Amino acid sequence: DDGYRLWLRYEPVTNAAIKVEYLKYASFIANTEKGEITGSALKELQTGLKQLIGKRVPAITTAGSRTGGVVFSLKPATGDSAAKEGYQIQPVSGNIVISAQSERGILYGTFALLRHMQMQQPLKNLRISSTPKIRYRMLNHWDNTDGTIERGYAGGSIWKWYELPERVDPRYEDYARANASLGINGTVLNNVNASARFMSQEYIGKVAAIANVLRKYGIKTYLSVYFAAPKTLGGLAGSDPLDPNVRAWWADKVAEIYKTIPDFGGFLVKANSEGEPGPQDYGRTHADGANMLAAALKPYDGIVVWRAFVYKADPDADRFKAAYEEFVPLDGQFDPKVIVQVKNGPIDFQPREPFSPLFGNMPKTPLGMEFQITQEYLGFAAHAVYEAPLFKECLESDTWVNGQGSTVAKVIDGSLHGYERTLIAGVANTGSDRNWTGHPLAQANWYAFGRLAWDHQLSAEQIAAEWTQLTLTRQIKSREHIVKMMLRSREIYIGYNTPLGLSRPWMGVHFAPEPWQSRGARPDWTATYYHRADSAGLGFDRTTSGSNALSQYRPQVQAQWNDPDKTPLPYLLWFHHVSWNKKLGSGRTLWDELCHRLYSGADSVSWMQQQWELARNDLDTRVYADVAGRLKVQRREAIWWRDAWLLYLQTFSRQPVPASLTPPDRTLEEVKKSVNIYLMR
Ligand code: BDP
C-alpha cells in the first residue's frame, strides 16, 4: 500500500455474513437528482461498493416500488445552512435511504454510509442522523506559486500552477473526495503570505480550473490576498482601504473573479503581521481593511476571513497579549461578512498553549478557529504526533465568559454568542508525496481535523480508532496498540520538546533545538524571550508581578493559573517564573521534574516503537517499514532535544542530573555543534 487511498481504501469485506447483508441492498442506487454533487455521491458509492462487495451496482433514476437498493432522497430545505448540510441514513421499506436537504448532505451521507461499511458494521438497525456544528469547515494551504509550501513537509504543492488551466491533474479530484468524505466544504489554495499574482487574470483562470473540480464535491474555493495588490498589481498610488480608487479596484477585481468562479468562497487575509502589508500602513484599522473587502464582496455570497495573528515588534511587550489588545477594541466594528480567524493559542501553534484569550471576548464578531495540521512545531514529518488531543484540549477549555461551560467550542460553533457565520480552519499538511502527508500517521491529523470540524464532540480516541480501522488494519488487537500509541504521542513529544509549559525553543527553522538562541531580528523571534531561564529559575511570569497577560481571562480562568502552587504542571512555565529548587505538586523540585520529563519523553519513543512492532503482522509491509523508520529518527531526535534542553538549562540551575537518570554522554558544546551543522546552509 502506498498510502495514496488514505481512509478511502474500500478493502473487500471479509465478514461473510456482513457481505450477504450488504448484497441485499446492492440491486440499484436510485438518484432522482441531476446535480453534479449527487453525481459525485453516486460515483463514489458505485466505486466503493464495487471494491467492498465486488458488485457493480447500476444507477436508476427512481426506485418506485423496487426494494433492495440505496435511495438518495433530497428534501425541501427548512433549517439553517448547517442543518442543510446534515443527513439521515436509515432502512425504509427494504431500501437504505440517505436523505438530506441539499446535494452536499447526500454526498456527506454517502461517505458516512461507506465509512460504516468499511468498518463492516451491520445495516439492519442503522439509523444515523448527523448535522455539522460549524458552517465553514476549511483547509488553509500555505502553498506558493513556485510550488513550494510554507511549513510543508510532504513534498511540494499539489497545485500545478505552471500547467493550469490546460492540464487538470486527476489528483485534484482525489483531494476533493478525501475532504468531502470528512465534510470539509472550503479550501484556501494559497499561502497567507500571499502573492499578488493570484489576483491577476491569468491566475484567476488557473484557480477556476481547480474550483471546477472541487465544486463537484461541495468544496468552495477561496484565495489569500496580498493587501497591497491594488498598488503592486493594479498600479495605484497606494492601497489605503478608505481610498475610493482602491475600493473600486477591489470591487472590479471581485466582479472579475465571480464572472469566472460564480461560487467563489471569499478571501483570507494576513495583514500587518510579520512584515505583510495592511491597513495600518495607512493609519487605518483591521476593521477598515476587512470591511473594505466585505464591501467588494457584498453583491455575492463570499466572505472575508481576517486573521488575528498580529503582534508588533516591541521588546517590552508580551506577545501573548498582542492579538487581544489589537482586536478586542474593534468588537462590533466589523461588517457581518467578516469572520476573524484566531489561532488556538495566544502565541503560535506550540505543542501546548493555553487557549487564546480572544475566545469569548468578542461577542459581536464571529471568531473562527485556526488549527495547524501541518507539524511545523511538532517534529515535521519525522515525529508521530496525533493532534486530536491538542484540538480537543483547546475546544473543551472553559472561557467562563457566560458562566461555567462557556467552552471555546461553544464560542466557535456560535452557540455562545449567536454568531450567524461560524468557521473552523486547519492549516493543511498535504503535499505532493504519494501518501499525501509524508508521515503515514500524519494522515490521521487531516482526518481528525475534518471529523472534529464536523462534530467537535467526537472523542480523540473514537477518531483514532476509526481512522486506524479505515486506513491501517481491521485487526482489533493491532488497532488497539496503534490507538494507544497515537493517544499518548503528543504528551510524549511535549515531554522531550517543551515540558511543563515551555514554548518556542527555536529560531526560524522550527525543528532543531535552539533554546540558547538569544539574538534575532526581533526579541520575540528568539528562544530566550520565551523561557526566560536565569540563575534563579525558569518560565515567563504572566501574573500581576509580570506581564499580567492573565488579566485577559475571566477570574475563574485566572484562578486556575494565577498561583504557581495550584497551576497544573503542563501550564506552569507559561505563567510563572519558578525557582529551580521549588517543590512541585509531583514532590520533585522544578529541576528534577524537568529532567524526569525530558527523559521519560525520550524513553517513551521506545515504547511507541514497541507498540508499532506489536501491530506489525497486521500491517501492510511498506507502511510498517515507513513508520518504523521514522520512529527510529524520532527516537534519535528526541534524545537530541532532551540533551539540548538539559545541558543548556543546567548552566543556570547548576545542579546534577538526578541520580536515577543516566546523564547525557555529550557536552553542551557538542550538542550546539550538531545543531549548527543541521542549520548550516
Ligand atoms: C508561523 C509560521 C509562518 C507563518 C505564520 C502565520 O512560522 O511561516 O507565516 O505562522 O501563521 O507559525 O502567518
Q: What CATH number corresponds to the domain at position 96?
A: 3.30.379.10
pLDDT in tens, 529-566: 999 999 999 999 999 999 999 999 999 999 999 999 99
661 φ, ψ (degrees, to nearest 5):
-110, 145
Region 481-504: mean pLDDT is 98
Rounded to whole angstroms, the Cα distance separating 309 from 329 reads 15
Position 81 scores a pLDDT of 79
Q: How many percent of the chain have pLDDT more than 70? A: 100
678 SS3 class: helix
* pLDDT above 90 (res 679): no
Position 435 scores a pLDDT of 98
What's the pLDDT band for 316 if we cut at 50, 70, 90?
confident
Q: Ligand 1 center to residue 674 CA distance, Å?
A: 26
Q: Which amino acid is at 470?
A: L
**Dihedral in degrees, nearest 10, Cα atoms 317, 322, 326, 329:** -90
Residue that finishes a domain, picked among 94, 129, 164: 129
Q: Ligand 1 center to residue 483 CA distance, Å?
A: 30
Residue that finishes a domain, picked among 409, 437, 470: 470
3-state helix, strand, coil in the chain (%, to 5): 40, 10, 45
Shared-domain flag, residues 59 and 152: no
Q: Which amino acid is at 244?
A: P
Shared-domain flag, residues 316 and 444: yes
* pLDDT above 80 (res 508): no
Q: What is the DSSP letter of 65?
A: T
> Which of 80, 202, 252, 274 is the catalytic position?
274
Supply the range of the domain harboring residue 666: 494-540+577-679
Shared-domain flag, residues 145 and 45: no
Residue that finishes a domain, picked among 470, 485, 506: 470
Q: How many CB atoms lie within 10 A of CB 479?
A: 19
* Sheet with 87-92, side-by-side order of all strands: 59-60, 29-31, 70-74, 95-100, 87-92, 128-130
Rounded to whole angstroms, the Cα distance separating 647 from 110 reads 55
Rounded to whole angstroms, the Cα distance separating 401 from 211 reads 40
Q: Are 397 and 389 in contact (CB under 8 A)?
A: no
Q: Which ligand 1 atom is nearest residue 191's CA? A: 9
Rounded to whole angstroms, the Cα distance separating 115 from 109 reads 10
Shared-domain flag, residues 116 and 141: no
pLDDT in tens, 100-130: 999 999 999 999 999 999 999 999 889 999 9
Q: Which ligand 1 atom is nearest residue 349's CA? A: 12
Q: Could you tell me if residue 547 is inside a domain?
A: no
What's the pLDDT band for 314 if we cut at 50, 70, 90?
confident
Q: Ligand 1 center to residue 270 CA distance, Å?
A: 10
Q: Candidates 140, 141, 153, 192: which one to mutate for ligand 1, based on the most atoms within 8 Å of Cβ?
A: 192
Q: Are 448 and 391 in contact (CB under 8 A)?
A: yes
> Which of 281, 370, 376, 626 is the catalytic position?
376
Q: Could you tell me if residue 609 is inside a domain?
A: yes
Region 50-70: mean pLDDT is 97
Where residue 672 sits, what CATH number does that domain have? 3.90.1330.10
Shared-domain flag, residues 94 and 144: no
Residue 83 or residue 277, greater confidence:
277
What's the pLDDT band for 282 if we cut at 50, 70, 90?
very high
Rounded to whole angstroms, the Cα distance separating 560 from 568 reads 8
Shared-domain flag, residues 332 and 249: yes
pLDDT in tens, 602-614: 999 999 999 999 9
Q: Could you tell me if residue 2 is inside a domain?
A: no
Q: Could you tell me if residue 572 is inside a domain?
A: no
Q: Could you tell me if residue 257 is inside a domain?
A: yes
For ligand 1, residues with CB inside 6 Å are 150-151, 192-193, 270, 309, 348-349, 376
* pLDDT above 90 (res 319): yes
Q: What b/e string do you get for 263-279 counting C-beta neighbours within 10 Å, with b at 16 or more?
A: ebbbbbbbbbbeebbbb
Region 21-39: mean pLDDT is 97
Q: Ligand 1 center to residue 349 CA distance, Å?
A: 9
Q: Which ligand 1 atom is nearest residue 151's CA? A: 8
- Return mean pLDDT, the chain: 97
Is 376 tagged catalytic? Answer: yes
Q: Candidates 227, 268, 274: which one to mutate for ligand 1, based on the most atoms within 8 Å of Cβ?
A: 274
Shared-domain flag, residues 243 and 298: yes
Region 172-188: mean pLDDT is 98
Quote ipTM for the complex.
Answer: 0.98
Shared-domain flag, residues 242 and 327: yes
Tally of domains in the chain: 3
Shared-domain flag, residues 238 and 377: yes
Position 351 scores a pLDDT of 98
Give the three cell numbers for residue 591: 529541576
What's the pLDDT band for 645 if we cut at 50, 70, 90?
very high
Position 82 scores a pLDDT of 79
Q: Could you tell me if residue 483 is inside a domain?
A: no
What's the pLDDT band for 80 if we cut at 50, 70, 90?
confident
Q: Could you tell me if residue 352 is inside a domain?
A: yes
Position 507 scores a pLDDT of 79
Q: Could you tell me if residue 546 is inside a domain?
A: no
Q: Which ligand 1 atom is nearest residue 343's CA? A: 11
C-alpha dihedral sign at 41, 43, 48, 54: positive
Where residue 242 sits, what CATH number does that domain have? 3.20.20.80
pLDDT in tens, 418-439: 999 999 999 999 999 999 999 9
Rounded to whole angstroms, the Cα distance separating 330 from 366 reads 12
Shared-domain flag, residues 110 and 168: no
For residue 230, give the nearest of 220, 222, 221, 242 by alpha carbon.
Answer: 242
Q: Are 107 and 64 in contact (CB under 8 A)?
A: no
Identify any residues that bridge with 29 across adjacent strands, giving them in sequence order.
Answer: 59, 70
Shared-domain flag, residues 99 and 177: no
What's the pLDDT band for 212 if we cut at 50, 70, 90?
very high
User: Is this structure's pTM higher than 0.90?
Assistant: yes
What's the pLDDT band for 79 if we cut at 50, 70, 90?
confident
- How much is the CA Rg of the chain, to the nearest whole Å? 26
Shared-domain flag, residues 278 and 209: yes
Q: Candidates 269, 347, 348, 380: which one to mutate for ligand 1, based on the most atoms within 8 Å of Cβ?
A: 348
